[in-house]
Structure 1
Amino acid sequence: MGIFNRDRIRGALLVIAVTGLIGGLVLQFLGRSDLAGMVWTTCVLPILVALLAEIVRDFWHGEVGLDIVAALSMSAAVAFGEGLAAAVVAVMYAGGTFLESFAEGRARREMHDLLSRAPRTATRHRDGKLEDVPLDVIAPGDKLLVRQGDVLPVDGTVASAFAFLDTSALTGESLPVRLAIGSEAMSGSTNVGDVFDLIATRLAKESTYAGIVRLVEEAQQSKAPMSRLADRWSLGFLAVTVALALAAWWFTQDPIRAVAVLVIATPCPLILAVPVALVAGLSRAAHYGVLIKGAKPLETMARIRTLILDKTGTLTDGRPQIVAINSYIGIPDDEILRLAAALDQASKHPVAQAIVAAAKARELALPVPSEAVEIPGEGVRGSVDGHKVIVGGDNFVAGHLRRHSDDHPALASGSVLVAVAVDGRLAARLVMADPLREGAGSTLGELRHQGISRILLATGDRMEVAERVTEGLGLDGLHAGLSPDQKVMLVLAERKSGPVMMVGDGINDAPALAAADLGVAMGARGAAASAEAADVILLVDTIDRLGAGIHIARRSRRIALESVVAGIGLSILGMLAAAFGYLTPVQGAVLQEAIDVAVILNALRALHVRPHVEKNPEKQITGASCDGTIRENAA
């Protein structure tokens, strides 16, 4: 609400400044110079008061900005009767601050609240009945009912025979896990199987998900905001301006020359060029599916040297896929896949849905199965086109065939087998895994070309899985088995060597995203918590857009710097001309406006930056997960 009010105030000040300037010019044209001077002075005062309040606030926070030059020029112009010059400066300054606010909010969209994924209530067993209760009344020992699709509200133990949970948002493990009775289940996991009972072991505020939320809040509070790019040159430019103005007054005994120097020195090239170039960069980045939450993250993105990547859902696709079909009885692979997928239409299990998706991707016609019977967590049996088909785990299928499952091939770490039997014979095994994203290697190479010197992997998955997935990528470091707080510690350790970018998509990545200099969330299918904590959201589900974002950020920042250098150089020349009496305050203000137009036109070149990225609409994701549910699209 505070930011919203500040933007409204800046907009109102710009309206006052422009209205006063135009009104005074009209009165001047009508021959009412006295009223024109009053109007100009009146419109300047609110801008000057707001400017002084901003300067005091900056001083309170230990900052000294170029706003002081603008305050001096307006005050001096009003004091020595140069109302028109003061009004022009007021318009320049009000326009600059308004554009700065616009730049910060241009690419920002309303993000989901950090807790939007978390349940607000839970269903509790009480006296043989079910009741919906707020989370804060749940106590350890309470028995809760968790329906399919529900997010576990608290940490607890499974009280039913088994439970199937999607823990990818917490651990980075892409495949659902099967928990037996008595197993511990973490809050924030999603029930992708049948309904089950959970015995609460902790209060909601002490559970896993709540702890991750606290980590995000602490990391966000510890990250110092960047100062405006303009303020980096403030002290030196301020000293030169004041010295030149005083020298002109001292040697000529003409205070108007000092006013002219101050008017031309008003740092609108800094105030205007930077936000215009950066907001142009924000718009350009959004065109390529890179949503950057303001000008400060864009500038940070241009300076990144270290990249830390999550694995599941970031470096890999995050969804189980068929990587091989091992056929045993001569049935073609497509026919095996067709029969298995047709039967798996009767199951909501994520692996079953992945098989169905693979068959549809090959444009295989899937008939409706009959007599389908699912044993949750084990497999499905039924009839497809007159064939008796069984699909499921190796032991499940072997049990129906009344044979031992002892001849299956060795698996690479991180893969799973799905056995398929047709008419009483083991027909094939489908090898499923979470593969590396297509083009991941070339993307990392492009990022190194963009100036990224260190690329690390940080995952909650097992080391052997991480090593297999990243083999040949040439990473500078591999960190596996990390908890959310350990990811934060890794980010903080790397920040000592330079700006760090963290890329992730799950709830477990949110604290590290918040702790990094720049957090990037895979927003197409990522969790709301990671999107909220991140500074950048990739709206297209592919990491090659990182290269596009960095290219646009660096080019936009370079254009902003070019505008600043050119604008300040011209301003210094104008200040010298004013000091020697060649420019009056009004002429100086008009000249400064011309300089402003020039630097703004140059800054707008950022709208035409063209990164080397192929736009492929087919890669965009609607947010559907492999289990058929719609995940929150925080972007």
Structure 2
Amino acid sequence: MSRALRSADFALLLVSASCLVIALSFAALGRSAVANAIWVAGTLPVLGMLAISVIDALRRHQAGVDVLALVASGCALALGEYLTAAVIALMLASGRALENYAQQRARRELTALLKHAPRYANRFEANEWRRVALDAVAAGDRLLVRGGEFVPVDGTLAGYAQLDESSLTGEAAAQLRSPGEAVRSGAVSLGAAFEMVAAASAGDSTFAGIVRMVRTAQQERSPAARLADRYALLFVPAALLLAGASWLIAGDVTRALAVLVVATPCPLILAVPVAIAAGMSRCAKRGVLIKGGGALERLAQATVLFFDKTGTLTGGNARLVSVESGPGIEPDTVLRFAASIAQASAHVISEAVIAAARERGVTLSMPAQVAEQPGAGVSGKVDGRDVAIGSFAYVSSVATPAPWSTAFLQRVAYEGASAVFVAIDGSMAGALLMADQIRLETPRALRLLRHEGIRRLVMLTGDRRDVAQTVGSMLGVTEVRAEQTPSDKLAAIQAARGEGGTVIMVGDGVNDAPALAAADVGVAMGARGAAASSEAADVVLLVDRLDRLVEALRVARQTRRIALQSVIAGMAMSFAAMAVAAAGYLPPLPGALLQELIDVAVIANALRALRIRSRAHGGGLARGDADTLKAGHTELGPLMERIRRLADELPRMPGASVANALASVNASLAKQLVPHEQHDDMDVYPGLARLVGGEDPMGALSGTHREIFRMVRLLGQMTASVPPEGPDPDSLREFQRLLYGLDAIVRLHCAQEEELYHALREDA
């Protein structure tokens, strides 16, 4: 249907332009009668199309400025102003064609998604690969994806795969995925063929949901465009009144015709939908799918923001925070045995333990004689030694509880985290502190949201109050509401809407769906969120990054500003031209040409929304460079744990052992920490400064390096002064203070750097 309309608009433009040019040739030859006939012939098809459009609008109880165009064209023909009528027809046909082109250009990124929809799958049947219809694929099917083909459904990889996921995430870089990783439909295979196991049918897969949302987004008309029609209800009577007054005062109907000509067509119905569609296109290009112009306009007016915590402010997955180990046991030893036995378990915590070991470069061994008690733990043999991991109760049943375990359990409770205890040969060797950590981009995203005018930031979570308050204080949110059920979240949203202001709700789970649907703008973390939340939301973040919401908000506000500028400028120019025409200084024919220029100007201004910059900086770190910088911090992890452990153990250590322990730590600091920070300061920071911009953007972080160097040097000087029998109690406390301080400042510094690396990644 849309293609037919585009063809009709193009045909009308071709006919009206051809008739105008041919008739001008006959007029130049003195054949006025023939010229007039041709002008009428070129005008009537456009007039007919316009009449159909007006009747259809009136049937839907909508009145727009097309009425003026119809009246002006009819009056021009009735008064014998055939050339003016032909120019008006050309103006209308070109306006419709230009608007159609602008909207299609603005929707290009949205429409491109539909082209990536998979149409078939290669399924293993009867010992061979067979091409089957996509609808025939079911969960559990074994599928083959060849190079250049689309991943047909969501599933799990059986081998390595190199994928282009740009249609899903907006990230242009090729992604290398490993066996066991989840893969989503719509990604394109860039390498060799690979096998996968389907996890969902085609209709329930990621890309099918995205396609449904895209089609909905393309079909919905923006409330801003309806607002433009409401402006038209004021503009049309004003134009008719001015035209009638000029006719009555001057007694010249030509003046009335000139007024109607310059009021036709009004830029209102052209500029607003073009700007809105352009803004939606910009958001789609950055991995933010907005389901309609109405959602974009409401997003631009938002002042209150509600967040779910888990999976939104945090990553939604448990990650290793620290390793607790018993006397004489290295943390990496505890992690190695834990991760080795975890390879035999499919539990999500086991997967997190394995991932942490791989990040630290720990070499794992194959487990044997494995026995798993669901929900409790796993036991077996690793390198000939008996190993058990799991809950405290499970590990305590096979090993004697360690003296440090009580304090560790209390710490776990305070932090709202989880613990994996590790027993080796019947002895509790250590424990892993696992927690759902705050997303790297979250603090920066919240700061930018405040900068964009969000006055209230409210965190909604089902977690305990003490845990929620801790996270809220770290992020600086306005309010924290803990122990919330889905009905509580819904009530909070409804209450906020009742207080005034436009409310946004951001969530990712099924329990967030009611609140997302109730908010003025529901935003779903769609990259990993539940299908229910994505369906209920108005905006879906296809990339699993919270700072994309900041970009969407920025684009929405600039788009609305551009749309209003176009409306105001277009109306002002039209009223000025109408006044000049009413005074008799602008005849109908020049007026028609002037109005064409006004229409082109406002549409061109509306298309500025396609060039909105959603990010403050213009360049970024390559993903590989950002990962390399972060890997350097991972390598420092064992050293930081060693510093903390030494600070804890100093009061219990024999005096003669203190000097050796401090000297060993000093040597490690000089070998690892100091060179790392020196490299960052001299080699990394200059490049980052160019990306961030400003005179000295890295000054604060560089100053932290100076403090780290000072503390390391002070620790070395104090260690050199320790007598053979060990330090006195006052010196011991000073060592503890210095070690704890060094641990804290380095951890904070690394967190700040990682946040910066994450923000500057070119695929962010």
1:545 corresponding residue in structure 2: 548
Which one of the candidate residues 20, 28, 39 is aligned to 1:25? 20
The separation in 1 between residues aligned to 2:466 and 2:349, in whole angstroms, is 22
- Indicate if the aligned counterparts of 1:373 and 1:382 stay in contact, CA closer than 8 A: yes
Which one of the candidate residues 222, 226, 234 is aligned to 2:223? 226
Which one of the candidate residues 567, 576, 579 is aligned to 1:576? 579
The separation in 1 between residues aligned to 2:24 and 2:336, in whole angstroms, is 83
Residue 314 of structure 1: how far off its partner (Å) = 0.7
For 1:586, the aligned partner's letter is L
The separation in 2 between residues aligned to 1:280 and 1:287, in whole angstroms, is 11
SS at match of 1:320: strand
1:422 corresponding residue in structure 2: 424
Residue 84 of structure 1: how far off its partner (Å) = 0.9
2:473 corresponding residue in structure 1: 471
TM-score norm. by structure 1 comes to: 0.72
Residue 455 of structure 1: how far off its partner (Å) = 1.4
1:597 corresponding residue in structure 2: 600
Residue 418 of structure 1: how far off its partner (Å) = 0.7
2:390 corresponding residue in structure 1: 392
Residue 26 of structure 1: how far off its partner (Å) = 4.4
The separation in 2 between residues aligned to 1:346 and 1:462, in whole angstroms, is 32
For 2:409, the aligned partner's letter is P
The separation in 1 between residues aligned to 2:616 and 2:424, in whole angstroms, is 46
Cα–Cα, structure 1 residues 436 and 545, in superposed 2: closer, same or farther, change >3 Å? same
Residue 446 of structure 1: how far off its partner (Å) = 1.6
1:313 aligned onto 2:282: no
Cα–Cα, structure 1 residues 51 and 562, in superposed 2: closer, same or farther, change >3 Å? same
TM-score norm. by structure 2 comes to: 0.61
Residue 58 of structure 1: how far off its partner (Å) = 4.3
Which shifted more, 272-281 or 440-449? 272-281
1:276 corresponding residue in structure 2: 274
The separation in 2 between residues aligned to 1:380 and 1:600, in whole angstroms, is 66
1:164 corresponding residue in structure 2: none
Residue 347 of structure 1: how far off its partner (Å) = 0.9
For 2:518, the aligned partner's letter is A
Cα–Cα, structure 1 residues 335 and 582, in superposed 2: closer, same or farther, change >3 Å? farther
2:372 corresponding residue in structure 1: 374
Which one of the candidate residues 254, 258, 261 is aligned to 1:260? 258
SS at match of 1:22: helix
SS at match of 2:315: coil
The separation in 2 between residues aligned to 1:293 and 1:553, in whole angstroms, is 13
Residue 365 of structure 1: how far off its partner (Å) = 3.0
Which one of the candidate residues 412, 415, 421 is aligned to 2:414? 412
The separation in 2 between residues aligned to 1:88 and 1:518, in whole angstroms, is 41
SS at match of 1:331: coil
Cα–Cα, structure 1 residues 475 and 402, in superposed 2: closer, same or farther, change >3 Å? closer
1:554 aligned onto 2:557: yes
The separation in 2 between residues aligned to 1:462 and 1:55, in whole angstroms, is 55
- Indicate if the aligned counterparts of 2:87 and 2:592 stay in contact, CA closer than 8 A: yes
1:48 corresponding residue in structure 2: 50
SS at match of 1:409: helix
2:344 corresponding residue in structure 1: 346
- Indicate if the aligned counterparts of 2:54 and 2:63 stay in contact, CA closer than 8 A: no
SS at match of 1:540: coil
1:69 aligned onto 2:47: no
1:521 aligned onto 2:511: no
1:606 aligned onto 2:609: yes
The separation in 2 between residues aligned to 1:542 and 1:377, in whole angstroms, is 31
The separation in 2 between residues aligned to 1:280 and 1:111, in whole angstroms, is 16
1:173 corresponding residue in structure 2: none
CA-to-aligned-CA distance 1:170-207 (integer Å, 9 cap, x gap) = xxxxxxxxxxxxxxxxxxxxxxxxxxxxxxxxxxxxxx
Residue 64 of structure 1: how far off its partner (Å) = 4.7
The separation in 2 between residues aligned to 1:510 and 1:471, in whole angstroms, is 26
SS at match of 2:483: coil
- Indicate if the aligned counterparts of 1:387 and 1:422 stay in contact, CA closer than 8 A: yes
- Indicate if the aligned counterparts of 2:390 and 2:421 stay in contact, CA closer than 8 A: yes
Cα–Cα, structure 1 residues 596 and 565, in superposed 2: closer, same or farther, change >3 Å? same
- Indicate if the aligned counterparts of 1:51 and 1:71 stay in contact, CA closer than 8 A: no
- Indicate if the aligned counterparts of 2:107 and 2:281 stay in contact, CA closer than 8 A: no
Cα–Cα, structure 1 residues 111 and 291, in superposed 2: closer, same or farther, change >3 Å? same
- Indicate if the aligned counterparts of 1:99 and 1:276 stay in contact, CA closer than 8 A: no
- Indicate if the aligned counterparts of 1:106 and 1:282 stay in contact, CA closer than 8 A: no
The separation in 2 between residues aligned to 1:501 and 1:111, in whole angstroms, is 26
Cα–Cα, structure 1 residues 441 and 331, in superposed 2: closer, same or farther, change >3 Å? same
- Indicate if the aligned counterparts of 1:85 and 1:263 stay in contact, CA closer than 8 A: no
For 1:398, the aligned partner's letter is S
Residue 618 of structure 1: how far off its partner (Å) = 5.1
1:205 corresponding residue in structure 2: none
Residue 430 of structure 1: how far off its partner (Å) = 1.0
Structure-to-structure mapping, 1:98-113, within 5 angstroms: 98=100, 102=104, 108=110
- Indicate if the aligned counterparts of 1:524 and 1:540 stay in contact, CA closer than 8 A: yes
Cα–Cα, structure 1 residues 226 and 478, in superposed 2: closer, same or farther, change >3 Å? farther
Cα–Cα, structure 1 residues 259 and 337, in superposed 2: closer, same or farther, change >3 Å? farther
- Indicate if the aligned counterparts of 1:319 and 1:434 stay in contact, CA closer than 8 A: yes
CA-to-aligned-CA distance 1:482-534 (integer Å, 9 cap, x gap) = 33344333222212311111111112222222222111111111122222222
SS at match of 1:435: strand
Residue 102 of structure 1: how far off its partner (Å) = 4.6
Residue 94 of structure 1: how far off its partner (Å) = 2.8
Cα–Cα, structure 1 residues 254 and 230, in superposed 2: closer, same or farther, change >3 Å? same
Listed as ranges, the gaps of 5+ residues in structure 2 are 27-33, 115-138, 141-216, 627-764
For the pair shown, the structure with the greater C-alpha radius of gyration is: 2
Which one of the candidate residues 329, 332, 337 is aligned to 1:331? 329
Structure-to-structure mapping, 1:87-236, within 5 angstroms: 87-91=89-93, 94-95=96-97, 98=100, 102=104, 108=110, 226-228=223-225, 229-236=227-234
Residue 403 of structure 1: how far off its partner (Å) = 5.5
1:15 corresponding residue in structure 2: 10
CA-to-aligned-CA distance 1:532-571 (integer Å, 9 cap, x gap) = 2222222221212222221121122212222222222222
Cα–Cα, structure 1 residues 363 and 273, in superposed 2: closer, same or farther, change >3 Å? farther
The separation in 2 between residues aligned to 1:333 and 1:402, in whole angstroms, is 19
The separation in 2 between residues aligned to 1:9 and 1:77, in whole angstroms, is 29
Residue 260 of structure 1: how far off its partner (Å) = 2.1
SS at match of 1:319: strand
The separation in 2 between residues aligned to 1:403 and 1:49, in whole angstroms, is 87
- Indicate if the aligned counterparts of 2:288 and 2:548 stay in contact, CA closer than 8 A: yes
The separation in 2 between residues aligned to 1:317 and 1:596, in whole angstroms, is 48
* Structure with the bigger percentage of helix: 2
Q: Count residues in correspondence.
A: 508
- Indicate if the aligned counterparts of 2:378 and 2:389 stay in contact, CA closer than 8 A: yes
Cα–Cα, structure 1 residues 278 and 225, in superposed 2: closer, same or farther, change >3 Å? closer
The separation in 2 between residues aligned to 1:429 and 1:546, in whole angstroms, is 37
Cα–Cα, structure 1 residues 45 and 336, in superposed 2: closer, same or farther, change >3 Å? same
Residue 337 of structure 1: how far off its partner (Å) = 1.9
Residue 606 of structure 1: how far off its partner (Å) = 2.5
- Indicate if the aligned counterparts of 1:388 and 1:423 stay in contact, CA closer than 8 A: yes
Cα–Cα, structure 1 residues 226 and 72, in superposed 2: closer, same or farther, change >3 Å? same
The separation in 2 between residues aligned to 1:535 and 1:490, in whole angstroms, is 18
SS at match of 2:438: coil
For 2:281, the aligned partner's letter is S
Residue 106 of structure 1: how far off its partner (Å) = 5.6
1:289 corresponding residue in structure 2: 287
